[in-house]
């Protein structure tokens, strides 16, 4: 089961970060100190596939994501194992950059 509230850690060759994300009824919502995440997901067996838009919401200074851009549309694929999802994400806006990510469920 993929639905729940997760902590998330992620990294690319350009940087590392962490945040939270809530997966429920095919929708994903989350964020961190400077970025929001929202999108959709589906689960087939032990595989999660998602399409997630990320962007900045801090207007005083515009931080850059670990993809090196301020907004991107991520294609995510992960493997579900118990209360953890581990996978990768890519973005057309950052060709060649691959994000490794780990989600750990903290609540349903």
Q: In this predicted model, what pLDDT tens digit does every residue of 42-65 receive, in sequence order? A: 999 999 999 999 998 766 555 678
> Is this structure's pTM higher than 0.85?
yes
- Using CA atoms, how far apart are residues 57 and 82, in angstroms rounded to an integer? 33
Count of Cβ atoms closer than 10 Å to residue 77 Cβ: 12
Domain assignment of residue 65, given as a range: 4-107
Q: Considering its fold, how many domains does the chain have in total?
A: 1
70-87 residue pLDDT tens: 899 999 999 999 999 999
- Using CA atoms, how far apart are residues 76 and 73, in angstroms rounded to an integer? 10
Look up the CATH number of the domain holding residue 88: 2.40.128.380
- Using CA atoms, how far apart are residues 40 and 36, in angstroms rounded to an integer? 14
């Amino acid at each position: 089961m993929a639905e729940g509230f997760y902590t998330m850690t992620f990294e690319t060759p350009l940087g590392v970060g962490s945040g939270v994300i809530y997966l429920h009824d095919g929708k994903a919502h989350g964020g961190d100190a400077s970025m929001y995440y929202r999108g959709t997901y589906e689960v087939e067996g032990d595989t999660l596939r998602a399409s997630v838009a990320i962007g900045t919401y801090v207007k005083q200074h515009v931080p850059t994501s670990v993809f090196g851009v301020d907004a991107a549309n991520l294609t995510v694929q992960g493997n579900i194992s118990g209360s953890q999802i581990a996978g990768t994400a890519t973005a057309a806006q950052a060709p060649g950059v691959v994000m490794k990510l780990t989600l750990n469920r903290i609540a349903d």
